[in-house]
Every structure is written in C-alpha cells, then in structure tokens.
Amino acid sequence: MTEPTEAAELTSLDGNPFVTKSPLAFSLPPFGEIRPEHYGPAFNTGMEQHRAEVEAVAASAEPPTFENTLVALERSGQLLSRASATFFGTSSALATSEVQAIQEEYAPKLTAHSDAILLDSRLYERIRAVRDDTAQMGALDPESRHLVERYLTEFTVAGAGLDDAAKERLRELNAALATLTTRFEQRLLADANDLAVLVDDVTELDGLTAGEMSAAGEAAREHGHDGSYLISLVLPTNHPHLASLTNRALRRRLHDAQRARGSRGNEHDTSALVLEIVRLRAERARLLGYATHAAAALADSTAGSPERVRERLAPMARAAAANARKEQAALEAEAGNSIEAHDWAFYSNRVRATTYHVDTAAMRPYFEAERVLRDGIFFAAERLYGLTFHDRPDLPGYHPDVRVFEVREDGAPIGLYLLDLYTRDTKKGGAWMTSLVHQSSLLDEPNAVVTNNLNVPKPAKGEPTLLTYDEVNTFFHEFGHALHGLLARVTYPHFAGTRVFRDFVEYPSQVNEMWMLWPEVLANYAIHHETGEPMPKDLVDSLIASRSWGEGFATSEYLAAALLDQAWHALDVDQAASVTDVGAFERAALEEAALANPLVPPRYSSTYFAHAFAYAYDAQYYAYIWSEVLDADTVAWFTENGGLTRENGDRYRRYVIGIGGAADPLASYREFRGRDADPRHLLERRGLL
Ligand SMILES: [Zn+2]
C-alpha cells in the first residue's frame, strides 16, 4: 500500500464503529451507530490490516512455532471479523438494495482475500513444519493440536501445496466456476419467472386458501395481468399448491412448469452450464490430487469419502423406493384410478386427512408465539441446561422488531439471544441462525451473541401471533443452532459455536426439534390462547400417528437428489468430458440408484439443482440425512435416559454442543454415546427397516 492511500483510508474510518471492539454488553455490535456506509471502509481497511498481519507471519525469519504461526493467524484480522460477522449476520434480515449492493461488491473481494491466504505456500510450509515437529505437537493441548491438523487440511484442500503453475490454473478455475455458478443461479431465476403459471379463471384455483388466491392476484397485477392470477414457482420439484389444487389440468401445468426449468433450449437453459461446471470441478479435483470432485469435497467432512456416503445412502434408497411404491398403491386406491406425478401430493394429503384425521389448522390456536417461546423453547432449555432468558430492551437490535434476551446459566450471564420473528419486505425467505459475536477465550470474548430469524406473518395490531405446526418446529430447530452457538466454550475463534463440518452442523438443531412434542414441554406451552385449555390429546396423537405417512416419497425424492449430486461429482476428468446429455445422465444415475420412478422425481433435477450448481452444496447435499443419523440416535438416547433432565443436558453439552469445532466430532460422539451412531434409529423413523 502506498502512503497516500493509507492516509485516505484512515481518515475514512473516523467515527467508524467497527474500528474498536464494541463497548456494549457482550460486545453486541452498536447497532444504534452502525450505518450501511460504514461497511465498505471497514472491509477495505480490515482486509488491508489482515493482509499485513498475515504477511508478517508468512515472511517471519523465526522458525515456525505454534505461537508465531497458528496463534498469530488466529489473532489476525479482527477488524475484518467484526465487520463481517455483523454484516453477514444481519444482511439476510435487512436485505435492502443498499445492503445487497454492498454484498455484491464485497462478496467476491472477501473470497479472493481468503483464497490468497489459503494459497500462500509460505504459510502452508510453516503450518506443516509445526505439524511435523513431534516435540512441539506433543506439548500442545488437544484443542491446539486439533487446530494445527485442521489448518493443514484446510490449506491442503484449498491447494496451498501446489506449484505456481498449478496455482495459477487453480485461480483460473475458481474464477471461472464462480462466474458459471452465478450464471446458473441467474438463468434459473429468469426461467422460473418466465415459467410462472398464469391463470385467467379463478375457479381453476379451487382448493387454495383466500390468502393464496389474493397473493396470486397481486402477483399477476405486478406483472401487468390485472384480473388474472399468477402462481410463482418454488425451488424444489414439488410445488406446495399441488397438495391443494383440485383442478387436475392446472396441477399438471404447474408441475410441468416446475420440471421444465433450465431445460427448454432457450437463453435460460442451464444444461451447458451444468456440463461445464462438472468438467471444471473434475479438473480442479485432479489438480488438487483427487480422482473426482466428490473425493476432494468430502476429504474435509465427517463422512470422509464418497464411498462412505454411497454405502450409507444406497440401501436407504432401495428401501425408500419400495415404500414409495406402497404409498402409490394407497394413493391410487384413494383416487380410484392411476395417478401421475402431479397428483401425488394431492392424494397424499387426502389420505393423511381421511386415514389419520390430521387437522393441522386446529392446532394453531394452541401455538401462540410468546407461549411457544417462553413456556416451550426456553422452558426446555432451562430444564436441560439451566438457562434462563431475560429481556434487555436497553440493548439495541438491528431492527425495531428484534428482541434482545440476556441468557443466564444458573443465574450467571453467558451471552445474548436476538430474536427476529416476523417477515418483512427486506427479509429473505426461510429461517436461520447467525453469530454476531463468536466466543473465544484467545480473543478475550467469553460469550457469544447469536440471532434467530423466522418468517412469521405479522398479525394485525392487537391480534395474537398464532404459529403453524411447521413454524413451531422450525422455531425449535433454529433455537437448537442458537444453543450450539451459545453453549460452546473454545479457545480459538476457528472453532467457535457452529463452526463445525457442514455434514454435522444440522445435527444439534435437528435434535432440539424433539422437545416440541415432548409431553412435558407440550403440556407447558400448548395452551389455547382464548380458552386457556390444553391441547386435546387426540390432536397430538393423530399427528404422531401420521408422522411416517409420506416418508417413502419424501425420502425417495431427497435421496434421488443427493445421489444425483454424488453421481455428477463422481466423474473424473475423462468421464466428465464424455457426458454431453444432461437428461440422459440424470436418468442413468437414478436408474443406478434404484430411484428411477417417474412419479417420484428427484427433489431437484440437474437443470434446476441450485444446491449442487450454485449454492455451494456440491457433493454435499447428502449432509442433511447424514446429520439425521446422529439426530435420531441422540433422540433415542435422551428417550432411553429419562428425557428432559439437567443430567442429560449436561452430558450432551459436554460432548456435543459445548465443544464447537474444537475436537473430532465423531470421536466426541463416540464418547457421548459409548459407541458410534446406530443408523437403525433413522431407518425406523423414516420407515426404512
Ligand atoms: Zn438448520
């Protein structure tokens, strides 16, 4: 950096709240002072400082030690970390055009910044020297030793060990893949908009709720079709309206539109992108020393290799396919004739209602949001972990809707929990957890600050917020991530909270879902908001009885996508070059997986498989069911051991959610359970035995 630039940037950081650590309790970002224009200068100077700190480590003349290399790297880049954690921890909940513009500008710069560090051979050599120094390694505590191993693996899979020519090609491939995956996402979005289903006659919408009809009317008006109805497409193959639309022709139109995305040979077609992405990923894998992209991606996961993923998923696929065929017979009996793919959800819903008498709408009056939160979610956390939650209206959230709770364990403060429940125009869809402050004793940050976001429609003023069954389930799920972030106690920021493997991170959140219907918890929170009556037992019983209904279909469509993702990324360079027909490859892969049932298409087909070709879940879409094996085995453990007790919570915390990424997760699991996870519990849950 030249002198004048530095001077200019220092000036531009005057009054920038990211320059120093937040003075607020728990280092909560000072949202009252943060404005969008603070991020650019904080990112720029933060990257510059980080580069200088990393350069000092890389260029050091001292022999490499754990302190002067690993610890120094862990301490580096704190301004950048503060700004990034705050920005990316709130950007999806505050997605204004200003925030999106910042994201578009800085996301590639930040990626290039971290790539430059990961590809620095000098750092790589120093880390390797520490790892190879048995005397040094032997003197380290287990978390520190694990840190060395993790750094070495992460640098290796990123390509730090390559020669300069190979690194040059690697950078080209990374840049080309970034462009291609962005293009995939853009074309998919454009084609989905293009394929949205326009309906002129409102009677065709029979089966939809009044709210869904008016949303379709509004969408049509926005697109210049006043008086008509427009059904927007959704990402997975099966559109939710297929379960309720009574008009079969419209169901067919909607399903065909969903299936056609990216494959129509027009300017939005994604087939060529799929082939090119697969080829470049295979080439990158070979450069990194792996036979296939799946092998490269899974080298840094709890699964370890594509073979282990296939071994676990393949038998499930055969059982799920058989279950789906049994369900199909029940659906055809209900329909009185043979059915097609676009009829599946409709008749499945009917069977659920007629056979199991499930009425999820009748449950809502018992799911008042504040009760669910305090008497359900917080109640379970108190019983398990001794946690209590206290309103802190004096601390600022990033939006007026955000509520701030101080978390105490047996009375002592241990962090903050921010809850952002309601949907709004500037919030992206879905639900998620983020960490605004990462716990790390090295950086003198004793506690974490975490957020939960949901997208619950805001009721009219004075009306209670009544949640749906799915929303309550999601709430418990996201709170499981929050607990993971709040309860982990680690030394190094690299291991804070939810900084664990992708095929592990959904496990603790899935486990927390078990408390939603746990009798003691349910009885405590599911109280009718007007009458004060507890939820009738038959409502709960019918719901529990119906749980395995539809699992054949759900598991089949999920596994079809997961195995399709594996198949594309199991190609070596030569094989990838020889594939020219996306549809034919997909059919063969599903055939091979025993999941080629036209009535149960994969949850995502290749031309609209954004997880595999845009969202960085490439070769890792299996992670959901992989985590669920641990989840189901843990639910069984809690159930066998008396359920909701502090003793159980303490044990689960000691080996699982309390350790963040600081130890090998499967080894810790083995200590927790006294054995490896038994997949039988998952097979049982999904009816696959
Ligand atoms: Zn999750």
pLDDT, tens digit (0-9, with 9 covering 90-100), for 262-304: 999 999 999 999 999 999 999 999 999 999 999 999 999 999 9
Query: Taking 50 as the threshold, does the pLDDT of residue 86 lie above it?
Result: yes
With a cut of 50, say whether residue 2 has pLDDT above it: no
The 10 Å Cβ neighbour count of residue 14 is 8
Has 267 been annotated as catalytic? Answer: no
> Can you give the pLDDT at residue 7?
39
Full 3-state SS string of 199-226? ECCHHHHCCCCHHHHHHHHHHHHHCCCC
Confidence bin at 53 (pLDDT 50/70/90): very high
Give 433 Cα–ligand 1 centroid separation in angstroms. Answer: 8
At residue 48, does pLDDT exceed 70?
A: yes
The pLDDT value recorded for residue 430 is 81
In this prediction, residue 426 carries a pLDDT of 87
Contact present, 231 and 202 (Cβ < 8 Å): no
Q: Is the pLDDT of residue 58 over 90?
A: yes
Distance in Å, CA 481 to ligand 1 centroid: 7
Residue 680 has pLDDT above 70, yes or no: yes
Residue 4: the pLDDT is: 41
> Ligand 1 centre and the CA of 474: distance in Å?
8
Work out the pLDDT band at 5, boundaries 50, 70, 90.
Answer: very low
Residue type at 377 in one-letter notation: I
Q: Give the tens place of pLDDT for each residue, 424-471.
A: 888 887 899 999 999 999 999 999 999 999 999 888 888 999 998 889
Helix (H, G, I), strand (E, B) or coil at 466: strand
Which residue among 478, 506, 513, 557 is the active-site one?
478
Distance 431 CA to ligand 1 centre (A): 8
User: What pLDDT does residue 352 have?
Assistant: 87
Strand partners, 368: 466
Ordered alpha helix ranges (H), 400-518 = 469-487, 502-512
**Angle, CA of 545, 515 and 90, to the nearest 5°:** 120
What distance in angstroms lies between residue 507's CA and the mean position of ligand 1's atoms? 8
* Reported confidence tier of residue 32, pLDDT bands at 50, 70, 90: very high
| Per-residue pLDDT tens over the stretch 132-149 | 999 999 999 999 999 999
Q: What is the mean predicted confidence (pLDDT) over 618-626?
A: 96
SS3 content of the chain, % helix, strand, coil (to 5): 60, 5, 35
Residue 198 falls in which region: left (phi positive, over 0), alpha (psi -120 to 50) or beta: beta
Average pLDDT over residues 384-388: 98
Alpha-carbon gap, residue 95 to 478, rounded angstroms: 20
Dihedral of the CA atoms 264, 268, 272, 275 (nearest 10)?
-100
Q: What is the mean pLDDT of the chain?
A: 94
What separation in Å is there between the alpha carbon of 48 and the centre of ligand 1?
34
Residue 166 CA to residue 281 CA, distance in Å, equals: 14
- The answer to whether 303 and 626 are in contact (CB under 8 A) is yes
% of the chain with per-residue pLDDT over 70:
98
How confident is the model at residue 241, as a pLDDT? 93
Closest CA to 300 of 620, 670, 626, 612: 620
What confidence score (pLDDT) does residue 287 get? 96
The answer to whether the CB of 649 falls within 8 A of the CB of 384 is: yes
Single-letter amino acid, residue 286:
R
pLDDT band at 107 (very low <50, low <70, confident <90, very high): confident
> Which of 96-100, 437-441, 672-676 is the least confident region?
96-100
Confidence of residue 9 (pLDDT cuts 50, 70, 90): very low
Distance 223 CA to ligand 1 centre (A): 34
In order, the DSSP letters of 350-407 are HHHHHHH---GGGGGGG-BHHHIIIIIIHHHHHHHH-EEEEE-TTS--SSTT-EEEEE
Q: Is the pLDDT of residue 361 over 80?
A: no
Residue 17 has pLDDT above 50, yes or no: yes
